[in-house]
Amino acid sequence: MASSSNITRRALLGAAGVAGAAGTVVAWPRLTGADIPGRGEDALTVLILGTSQDAAGRQAIADAFMEEHPDIPVLIQSVQATDWGDFFAKILTMVASGTEPDIVYTATEGAQLFAERLALPLDDYIAHDAEEMRDYFEDVHPSLVEAFMYKGSLFQLPLDFNAANMYLNLDVIERNGLEMPGEDWTHDDFTELLRGMKGDATAYYWTNRLFGGVVPWLYVNDTSFLVEERATGGEDFWSTFYPGEERSGGYLWTGSNARHERVHETVEYMRGLVEEGLAVRPEEGGGNTLVGLFASGRIGTTPAGGYWVQGLAEGGMSPEQYDVQFFPRWRTQRHQFGGAGYAVMKTTKKADQAWEWIKFTATRNAMELAFPTPSTTPARRSMVNDNLYTGVGPEHWSRFYDTLDRFPTSGPIPAPPQQAAVETALIRNISTALSGGPDQVDRSLESLDRDLRDVFSQEDAS
Amino acid sequence: MSIDRRSALLSWLFLAPTMIGVGIFVVLPIIGSLVLAFFRWDIITSPQFVGLQNFTELATDSTVGISFVNTAVFVALAVIAQLAIAMLLAVLVQSRMPPWLRVFFRSTFFFPLVLSAASVSILMRYLFNESYGVINWALSLVGIPAVPWLTSPQWAMVVVIAVYVWQNFGFSFLLFIGGLGAIPPEVYEAGAIDGATGWRKFSNLTLPLVSPTVLVASVMAIISSLQVFDQPYVLTRGGPGDSTRTVVMVIYESAFRQLEFGRASAIGLVLMVLIMLVTALQFRLARRFVFYQ
């Protein structure tokens, strides 16, 4: 026989209230974020762009560091972002909320933003530990170092980089009876190569962004959409570590150069390729689908850096199916590259410990832990070797580093402190320029010029 | 304590969690945004009071102007398409058909709404790719050359609207299903005696009787589409050029790419006022066009 008991509404509400309170108490660590690993601990926090798996991947470096420095606990944190600009915005919100990390792994795109506003210069530390650092600088190309110098001070030690090289699909080349171009090929040779592929594959697939978009073409045509200057300073550094090198105190991008005739010529050339059906109209950013399309023989050529090698191998492409070449010569053969390294936040209270981390991660051992596969190009020349590429990389993998060694004027991604606004202006106007006739190029470059002037005048005003 | 006071206290107790939530997550941010609109702030340096400068600059900012025009075009086309498709399908689904088929259609049409807009847009980006998209492949089978869906200013907005409508018409559809279901069958029976069939039946009977639902659906569709972000951001990033850049995209870019939080707040406030005005206008028009039974 069923029995029933009466619970009053008041008792029920009271029980619900007690349950709610108990639930809140139990969930308190989650509600306050206190259960986040490392939160509240006195660890040196290192922030990277990526997923939690990426952070876990770098744990080996942290473990090796802590073995050498048991007094400095390290916490690797990751932040997911769609691109570097998104990553920088998230870091700034962390700064605003008072949860900023001690160290951030950042790329050329953010180097000057960090140098101008967020990062500590490393000059004193480097001068103090000059002997220890000599091995690193002897192994790293000065162009990479110069790219991380800002107004005479060095803010990051580059650990990896990628130059804009041309990937050529040998299957497509062979199918169409073409030949792999030589190192001294010109942009006219490039056009002819694309014409030979037309109809069989997408001859030139590219994306509209600051790295690998229109900028490498501007560089080989001996121009840029920004006025490029060099800062003074850094003489002591250069004479100490790179005697004989005539280098500057870093790059300065000071205004718009969008109305220069060579910029027009370059954009018109790209528009012509699109109009002739030799190149796709570039979508903005992205490029994630490219590996699969290239590996399956549907793309003839595309610009990319050494970071592609591992992806292509994982995509099932054998080293014999593709090769890399320098960007074709136009007025020059100056190439574009972008690097990355750790920056120490100005706000850190652990600057000395942070320097120990930076010094450690620049050692050969730490870099081998960081870059076990060719998913980027290590900044140390000695690491770009057969061990890294045999069986995985293309025949001419040495061109990744040769882009710097053989073309010492190669320059970094043009990324002033206002990089986000500059990139937005470039992408917006280049996509417009490529979607119409020659008149459209004129109008778009005028618009780009106007946008860039606004960006730089706002910076001057502030 | 009197019963009235205890009752009032209990009422406040029940309301408190919601009020605290709304206060912290809605009211405070709105006040914060209102205040920020009068400052220049880049997170790193201290906010600087600039008075109405953020608002006056909007008047001459071509990107902001274009984004409002784009949003207006988007809202006009997307809302009309969304409501028309939803109404058409709702009427069809409410017509005679086996119950299981009706359930199937209802679920199918509603399903896109529960998907993440970002995921749908990524998928659509593949489908509409000029070189490798399935859409162009299908068109090529009937001899139509590849269309630059996402990289041409003429087509990009069309695709953004199509993707948005595909994903969102299900909500209006469900509202219309409810509205149509509430129409008494006697009305149609009387109409049939008077000879109302087909379009006349729809325009003279169905539409007036479902007009309160149309009002609700249109208000919600307009408010939602004025705030469109996910689809244009993932599909085109606002391009080519500015051709699909919407107001909310400009707010996002101003705040989180260019670190101009004051400007972003000012645009946000203008959008909020615009939404309020449009909604008020809709309710005013509703007095003339909406019929309550």
Q: How far is B180 from chain A (nearest CA, A)?
A: 39
Give the pLDDT confidence score for residue A1 in this predicted structure: 46
Residue in B239, B240, B257 nearest the CB of A85: B257
Give the pLDDT confidence score for residue A172 in this predicted structure: 96
Measured between beta carbons, the chain B residues lying within 8 angstroms of A347 are none
Measure the CA–CA gap between A155 and A152, rounded to whole angstroms: 10
The DSSP-derived string for A16-84 is: HHHHHHHHHHHHHHHHTTTTSTTTTS--EEEEEES-HHHHHHTHHHHHHHHHH-TTS-EEEEEE--SSH
Q: What are the backbone dihedrals phi and psi of residue B195, each rounded to the nearest 5 degrees, phi first?
A: 90, 15
Measured between beta carbons, the chain B residues lying within 8 angstroms of A285 are 237
Express as a percent the part of chain B with pLDDT over 90. Answer: 67
Give the pLDDT confidence score for residue A36 in this predicted structure: 65
Contact B231, B121 (CB under 8 A): yes
Give the pLDDT confidence score for residue B132 in this predicted structure: 83
Query: CATH fold of B53-289, please?
Result: MetI-like fold (1.10.3720)
User: Are the beta carbons of A428 and B239 separated by less than 8 Å?
Assistant: yes
pTM for this predicted structure: 0.85
Please write the tens of the pLDDT for every residue from B22-45.
999 999 999 999 999 999 998 878
Burial label, A4 (beta-carbon count in 10 A; 0-12, 13-18, 19+): exposed
Helix (H, G, I), strand (E, B) or coil at A149: strand
User: Are the beta carbons of B239 and A86 separated by less than 8 Å?
Assistant: no
Give the pLDDT confidence score for residue A459 in this predicted structure: 61
Residue of B nearest to A96 (CA): B43
User: Are the beta carbons of B257 and A420 separated by less than 8 Å?
Assistant: yes
Q: What is the ipTM of this complex?
A: 0.78
User: Are the beta carbons of B259 and A92 separated by less than 8 Å?
Assistant: yes
Q: How far is A267 from chain B (nearest CA, A)?
A: 15
User: Are the beta carbons of B152 and A118 separated by less than 8 Å?
Assistant: no
Contact B241, A428 (CB under 8 A): yes
Please write the tens of the pLDDT for every residue from B180-235.
988 888 888 888 888 877 888 888 888 889 999 999 999 999 999 999 999 999 99
Pairing of strands B48-49, B39-40: antiparallel
Give the pLDDT confidence score for residue B219 in this predicted structure: 92
Give the pLDDT confidence score for residue B200 in this predicted structure: 85
Q: How far is B117 from chain A (nearest CA, A)?
A: 16
Give the pLDDT confidence score for residue A97 in this predicted structure: 80
Please write the tens of the pLDDT for every residue from B270-292.
999 999 999 999 888 888 777 76
> Which regions in chain A score pLDDT beneath 70?
1-5, 33, 35-40, 284-289, 459-462
Give the pLDDT confidence score for residue B84 in this predicted structure: 96
Q: Please, what sign has the CA dihedral across residues B77, B79, B82, B83?
A: negative
Tell whether B236 is within 8 A of chain A (Cβ). yes
Contact A226, A422 (CB under 8 A): yes
**Domain assignments of chain B as residue spans, ordered by start:** 53-289
Q: How far is A314 from chain B (nearest CA, A)?
A: 21
**Residues in CB range of A82: below 8 A, 6 or more apart:** A285
Residue of A nearest to B259 (CA): A89
Measured between beta carbons, the chain B residues lying within 8 angstroms of A452 are none
